[in-house]
Every structure is written in structure tokens, then in C-alpha cells.
Amino acid sequence: MEEVEKHDNAVSVEELSRLREEISRLDRRIIELLDERAKLVKEVGRLKRRSGLPFYAPDRENHIYRMIEDAASGEFPKKSLRVIFREIMSASIKLEEPLVISYLGPEATFTHQAAIERFGLSLHYIPEESIEDVFMDVEAERADFGVVPIENSIEGVVSYTLDMFVNSSVKIVSEIIIDIHHNLLSKSSRLEDIKAIYSHPNALGQCKSWIRKHLPNVPLFETTSTAKAAKIAEKEPTAAAIASQAAADIYGLNVLARGIEDKIDNITRFLVIGKQIPAKSGNDKTSFMFTIKDRVGALYHILEPFYRNGINLTRIESRPSRQKSFSYIFYVDIEGHISDERVKNALAEMEKYTVMLKILGSYPKSMRS
């Protein structure tokens, strides 16, 4: 009996070695294929440079992600494939042209997380202190693209981002939608040690029920970002920050509680801003802003052409124009690309009833929207 067990163990070790060698062979093949891909990418970069074409193409990116969705039918998880291809594309863009990405910082904010989710880890990032600075980086060509927040499913629209488009020449080239998960972080490893909680006002508001239940007597302090809160917690042993897992990793903090947001469907939408409107992808969104002539039924006449052309309005927002009392600028998102005939027709019709019409961008819809 003992000899049989020894034989079975020997067979198992032999089979394990064979399988591992097969995996190593496939790994080497993957590396060879990535090298082949890199050579093609460099050639694409040369052609783009010669033709003056943009190095980042959101329409092509979405095409690759749709290919993954269609092709991934085996054992390997689709979500993991998407992450892998994000980094392959990030490295590929760097091979073509080392792009610079500006974002609302500091490092480890949710905007930083969104930027990495879209562009990967291979590119150069510039953290900025304000949304205005991100816009200025792109306008002045200190950065190729910028990433800014635009709306949260709980807190609503980020008004300052909308206001920046009034006088800016940048265009929306892409959108990013991510789940927001808040964690309680501290240098301490015990919840009872916490004497103060720091975070951005939105994060504090999104976690108020959890705080009320678990730390009702602990004072709350607002910061300019969740990452700034993590920096404070890094230096104060009895302080806690409400921030992301990335902030815990970067600032060396313990996670005292995970997922403390009051609503599980806490989603934030971010915009990627650049200089050029990307090509049509087939599943696009167009954003524009306008002011209306002061006349009866003006807003109806403006929106009616979209109904007649079968175009879906996905969002409409108004903001004070700051140019005249009780006058407003309207911001609209519609389905379709600016090059679509029906979109062009609707915009041409509505322009008759506007004082100002400005196209902010046409870009691929997020795969999650």
C-alpha cells in the first residue's frame, strides 16, 4: 500500500512538472506575440506621425474592448482580460508617443484612479490642485489629455467642470465611469483609537450613516480631496481618513473598515479632455452647451428637433450664465456623433433659436453607460 502511494505521488509530481512546463511555454509564446505586436505598434506610430493623426484614439480603444467582449468565451475572466489589455494599450501608446496626462490630484484621488483605468500605468501623469489647472495644462499643451470629474450618482454634477467649458477651447474626447468605494484608513489598527475623521465633503456625506453608527462622537474635518485626508492620517496616529484602497497603499495606512459608503451604487463619471474630437466609434455621445433667445417657447423649439430626428437626450443641465441676471447656459448630452446626419440636422435646426451654441465634444460612450 505504501509503495502504491509513493508511486501515485511520483506520478503527481511528474504531471505537475509537465503542466508547469506547458504554462512556461505558453508564457514565452505570449512574450513573443507581444514583441510582434510592439513592432506593428511602432510602425503605426510612424504612420500617425507622418500623417499628423492623434496617438490616442478612443474609437480604436473601444473597438478593442468590444473585441475582447466578443472573443472572450473561455476560462479566462473577461474582467481580467480587460485589465491586461488596458496595460498592453498603455505600453503601446508609450511606444508610439510618450503622452502626458494631467488630472485633478493629488496622487490616489478617485480622479487619479479613473485616469489610470483609462490610460494605464505606462504614461506620465501630472497631478494638479484644481480643475482649472487641468484645463490650462491641456490648453497650453503641457499635457496631451486631462481627466476631471463631471458628476456623481449621489452628489450630482460637478458645477465647476461645467463652468470651465464656457471659455475653454478643449474638447471632451472620452468618458470614464467608475464605482466609488470608500474605506476608513488610519495608522492605528484599532477603531477605538480614532479621535478625528478627515475627508472630502462629498465622501463624508456619502458615509454619514456608517459614521453615525460606528463613530458617532468623532469630529469630522473637511479636506480638498480624499488623498489629502490620507496624507493627514499618515502623520496623525489617532486620525482616520475616508479614502480609496490606493490611498492606503500609497500612504502606508491600515484599512479599518471597507466599503463604508451608505449606497452601494455610488458611481462617478469623469471626462477626458483634449484638443481634437475623435472619430466616430458607432456608439457615441455628443455634448454641447447653448444659451437661448428670450422668447416664449424657445426651449421647446430647441429640444423639438431632437425628438423629430429620433435622438435621445441623456442629460440636460442648466447653470447661471453670469453675464445677465436670470439667464442660463444649458448643457446637454445626446446619443450619436457630430458626424451623424441626423445629429447635424437637429443641431442646425436648434441653432436658429439660440444666442450661442458650442459643441463640447463627440466621443465613445463608456462601455458601462
Q: Which of 225, 242, 272 is the last residue of a domain?
A: 272
- 25-77, pLDDT tens digit by residue? 999 999 999 888 888 888 888 888 888 777 787 878 778 878 887 887 778 88
Does residue 348 share a domain with residue 282? Answer: yes
| Distance separating alpha carbons of residues 142 and 165, to the nearest angstrom | 18
Q: Could you give the number of structural domains in the chain?
A: 4
Domain contains 145: yes
Q: Do 221 and 251 sit in the same domain of this protein?
A: yes
- 185 close to 243: Cβ distance less than 8 angstroms: yes
**CATH number of the domain residue 328 falls in:** 3.30.70.260
**165 and 188 together in one domain:** no
Q: What is the DSSP string of 66-104?
A: HHHHHH--SSS-HHHHHHHHHHHHHHHHHHH---EEEEE
pLDDT (tens digit per residue) in 102-133: 999 888 888 998 998 888 888 889 999 889 99
Q: Which domain holds residue 283?
A: 278-364
Please check whether residue 149 is in contact with residue 270, taking contact to mean a CB–CB distance below 8 angstroms.
yes
pLDDT at 211: 94
Instruction: Please report, rounded to a whole number, the percentage of residues in the chain having pLDDT higher than 90.
Output: 39
HSE-up of residue 231 (Cα within 13 Å, Cβ side): 12
In the predicted structure, residue 234 carries a pLDDT above the cut 90:
yes
Would you please indicate which residues are annotated as catalytic (active-site) residues? 268, 270
pLDDT in tens, 247-274: 998 899 999 999 999 888 888 899 999 9
Please tell me the pTM assigned to this model. 0.81
Give mean pLDDT, residues 155-168. 86
Choose one of 243, 272, 301: the last residue of a domain.
272
